[in-house]
Structure 1
Amino acid sequence: MPENRRPRRTGGRKPSRSPRPTPKPPATDGPVIELEVERVAHGGVFVARHEGRVVFVADAIPGERVAARVSDQAKEKFWRAETVEVLEASPDRREHVWAEASVDRAPELRPGGAEFGHIRMERQRALKGEVLRDALARMAGVEVGVEVAPVDPALAEGVSVDDGTGWRTRMRLHVGADGRVGPYAARSHSIVPVTSVPLAVAELAALAPLGDRFPGATAIDLVAPSAGDPAIVMVEGDRPARGSRPTIEERVGDRSFRLDRDGFWQVHRGAAATLTRAVQELVDDDLFDPRAANHDLYGGVGLLAAAVGDRFGETVRITTVESDARATEHAGANLSEWLGARAVTARVDRYLAELEAGSGAAERARLRDATIVLDPPRAGAGREVVERLVELHPRQLVYVACDPVAFARDVGLFRERGYELDELRAYDLFPNTHHVEAVARLRAIV
């Protein structure tokens, strides 16, 4: 999810991580400098230079000349800055879709989560493609054209393709010490007051308790499942309040998925259907064996395992692996119509290590014939998982990625070990943010 929170991935809980330090609030008294904006960088900021120093500036567009307030001078090699005035505007600049995030508001009061909201949709997608393309060239040695496609309107009823609003079905608002509710400011953990949440689907926008007080809560989660009524979930600490774990239903085409209301699901109204279609189309029929030891790693509640099952029939054999026990329980139920499907609760790295150590000759042969779908968290699969997968040597991998840099790093690792990037697609599942989703097929070549 673009800020304020990213769901990972398709029904499981967010993976546990080491606590991150609270971001320092941007400086409000830094110098204002004039910048010529050069190009986009990963993370929703843009590259400019001031007296030989790189400046990462927010709320700009390549080709613009802006006045920007320096908000962070802690690093010797680069500064961070926020646009406060547009001196020469790009033809791709538009009125921000979230007025309260506009450059005419003080940077420390701009809500986060819509950092590309001032850019025309076509240019947003071009910039996201540029980031993905550059990451693959730099980190994986792959030169490939990237076209970021919008979500098919037929898969996302009620979502505006024209301005990229009305798509979020999950949203977290934070609660301040005084009990008031609001989003975090951009690149900060300061809570700012807003009167609207235009990226949310209509039912969440109507439900959002903006300006209300929730003493005792640390956050408010808003959830709008595709089948059922929207709901508010109070969060105490980093967990939902007691008694707030009922299940909900999400529908993708004719198929239903059960998950916890406080579990995670793709946040865009049309994302689950988009990824289902992409995975089904990217699995190479000539390389797929329904009797092989096929796997869906980081599988959540079974969305992508079901995509494979629907594509190849009721006899398909597939194992979904997910570290969250509740999600695995739901996955088992969601995949029950496939006799060859099973759901395993395990960390992916540990599961693969045990699979490699415990497989006999027959199972190793089925693994070599396998198709592996993996949909890791934003940090990517990482070296250990890549190396363990390569040891198993499946015929093909279908990799779903939400971070271009982590994805490019992993593609580079796979290429060093005998896999080639065979096909790549990219989707704009997070309009008005810098986030982009990629789906790729990698094929064993040695």
Structure 2
Amino acid sequence: MGEARGTQVEIEVTGIAHGGISVGRLDGRVVFVSDAIPGETVVAEVTDDSKKSFWRADTVRVLQASPHRRDHVWAEASVDRAPEDRAGGAEFGHIDSAHQRELKRQVITDSLQRMAGIDRDVVVEALPGAEDGTGWRTRVRLHVSESGVVGPYAARSHRVIPVESLPLAAAEAQVIAPLSEQFTGADHIDLVVPSVGNPFVLQGSADRKERPKAQRIVERVGDREFRLDVRGFWQVHRDAAQTLTTAVQDAVDENLFDPRAANLDLYGGVGLLAAAVGDRFGNHVRITTVESDPHATDHAAENLAEWVGANAVTGRVEHYLRGVLKDAGAAERDRLTRATVVLDPPRSGAGKQVVDQLAELSPQQLVYVACDPVALSRDLALFAGKGYDLTGLRAFDLFPNTHHVEAVATLVRR
């Protein structure tokens, strides 16, 4: 072990793995290769040979290129650069946009089959914007090196790479990005481009003991406005909030929806998806949104004020559900079994505890918004074991030129 690291090997790349890494084999050993495309033959430098079962490697030269290869949309991340000097965050930027979506489709369908035993195809739908997948990020985090240089991290590293461009960023963020400036007393810089008002450049420090003073911004989705903290969570693609609003509205089976039930919006943030449900079914909808960030919950209460039956609760989802299971009387239990639950968990997924709790509450249907196909598939397998069937699935390319993909799944109680 350790003898292969740093050596260059020729590899035929045959597939794509979760995480945006291509897969090949060398003398029977699996090799995960960055910056390659299935179907290519590349020369790759081994970066990790610590495991017996697989190695990791970076493409340094393409011998036989895929017809889907293009010049990288971000010059500072191109295969022409030494791997350690490539900017991270655009790992699919060398692949034409349509084929990026095809690879993401393959990852979703493979994850569903392997982890949940579900054979189901899906189309990864493009969002509005540039055909090459640039100019969509309304939130960009840049890091600051010890010497004050600003830039993204190198791929799979905490090394700051100086860059002259940010092609995935919205034009407004590109204009204000302080790429040539030196910073002291900060370890990162956030660029925030709200849909209403001026963009922001925000300094941040990991050593900061107190949360920075809250500053409110407004995001507009259709005719509706949402208030939130300038540093709070919001969908990054400028069209993502509208896309997910419409997708969640479409995913709810109206024949199973009861506006008077104890409907839930879990991991609800500032109330975007709760509002989507309310806008579809009317201001008499009863829905509780649950979020662990108290600042977001405060904003959710304001953003959902027009719905008399809306309620915003601060707390971890598993703690909230535990309390409901413990304290709900017969009438509330009945409202829960008639409920629709929307959940948008973090990348790690909802997990067994939350799935078990939801299954015990036994709602009519769930709409699961997922940013990780493996976590989604794992949770779908758990839900299937609790009597819930996958009845609808859509996928969206919310993160062009990266491996990330968003999915919206509908599950119905048998």
Q: Same fold (TM over 0.5)?
A: yes
The one-letter code sitting in structure 2 at the alignment partner of 1:286 is N
TM alignment of 1:44-443, pairs within 5 A = 44-151=20-127, 153=128, 159-160=129-130, 162-237=131-206, 243-443=212-412
Q: Cα distance, 1:180 vs. partner?
A: 1.0
Moved beyond 4 Å, runs of 4+: 238-244
User: SS state of the match for residue 187, structure 1?
Assistant: coil
- 2:17–2:23 CA contact under 8 A, matched in 1: yes
Question: In structure 2, do the counterparts of structure 1 residues 238 and 362 end up closer, same or farther at CA, with 3 Å as the change threshold?
Answer: farther
The one-letter code sitting in structure 2 at the alignment partner of 1:321 is V
Question: In structure 2, do the counterparts of structure 1 residues 127 and 275 end up closer, same or farther at CA, with 3 Å as the change threshold?
Answer: same
- 1:245–1:261 CA contact under 8 A, matched in 2: yes
User: SS state of the match for residue 255, structure 2?
Assistant: helix
- 1:234–1:240 CA contact under 8 A, matched in 2: no
- 1:279–1:398 CA contact under 8 A, matched in 2: yes
Question: In structure 2, do the counterparts of structure 1 residues 171 and 119 end up closer, same or farther at CA, with 3 Å as the change threshold?
Answer: same
For structure 1, the 5+ residue unaligned runs are 1-26, 154-158
Q: Cα distance, 1:336 vs. partner?
A: 0.1
The separation in 1 between residues aligned to 2:230 and 2:300, in whole angstroms, is 15
The one-letter code sitting in structure 1 at the alignment partner of 2:84 is E
Question: In structure 2, do the counterparts of structure 1 residues 337 and 238 end up closer, same or farther at CA, with 3 Å as the change threshold?
Answer: farther
- 1:233–1:244 CA contact under 8 A, matched in 2: no
User: SS state of the match for residue 204, structure 2?
Assistant: strand
Q: Deviations over 1:3-58 (max 9, x none)?
A: xxxxxxxxxxxxxxxxxxxxxxxx99700100000000000101101111110000
The separation in 2 between residues aligned to 1:179 and 1:68, in whole angstroms, is 32
Alignment RMSD (CA, Å): 1.4
The separation in 2 between residues aligned to 1:327 and 1:243, in whole angstroms, is 15
Q: Cα distance, 1:245 vs. partner?
A: 2.3
The separation in 2 between residues aligned to 1:144 and 1:150, in whole angstroms, is 19
- 2:5–2:48 CA contact under 8 A, matched in 1: no
The one-letter code sitting in structure 2 at the alignment partner of 1:177 is E
The one-letter code sitting in structure 2 at the alignment partner of 1:292 is A
User: SS state of the match for residue 285, structure 1?
Assistant: coil
The separation in 1 between residues aligned to 2:107 and 2:308, in whole angstroms, is 42
The separation in 2 between residues aligned to 1:108 and 1:243, in whole angstroms, is 33
Question: In structure 2, do the counterparts of structure 1 residues 244 and 204 end up closer, same or farther at CA, with 3 Å as the change threshold?
Answer: farther
TM-score by length of 1: 0.91
The separation in 1 between residues aligned to 2:214 and 2:314, in whole angstroms, is 19
- 1:240–1:262 CA contact under 8 A, matched in 2: no
The separation in 1 between residues aligned to 2:277 and 2:173, in whole angstroms, is 31
The separation in 2 between residues aligned to 1:283 and 1:439, in whole angstroms, is 10
TM-score by length of 2: 0.98
The one-letter code sitting in structure 1 at the alignment partner of 2:20 is G
- 1:233–1:240 CA contact under 8 A, matched in 2: no
Q: Cα distance, 1:243 vs. partner?
A: 4.9
| 1:36 has 2:5 as partner | no
The one-letter code sitting in structure 2 at the alignment partner of 1:95 is D
Q: Cα distance, 1:241 vs. partner?
A: 8.1
Question: In structure 2, do the counterparts of structure 1 residues 201 and 238 end up closer, same or farther at CA, with 3 Å as the change threshold?
Answer: farther
User: SS state of the match for residue 135, structure 1?
Assistant: helix
Q: Cα distance, 1:211 vs. partner?
A: 2.4
- 2:4–2:49 CA contact under 8 A, matched in 1: no
For structure 2, the 5+ residue unaligned runs are none
User: SS state of the match for residue 221, structure 1?
Assistant: strand
The separation in 2 between residues aligned to 1:439 and 1:423, in whole angstroms, is 8
The one-letter code sitting in structure 2 at the alignment partner of 1:251 is R
The one-letter code sitting in structure 2 at the alignment partner of 1:33 is V
Q: Cα distance, 1:244 vs. partner?
A: 4.7
The separation in 2 between residues aligned to 1:241 and 1:92, in whole angstroms, is 48
Question: In structure 2, do the counterparts of structure 1 residues 242 and 315 end up closer, same or farther at CA, with 3 Å as the change threshold?
Answer: closer
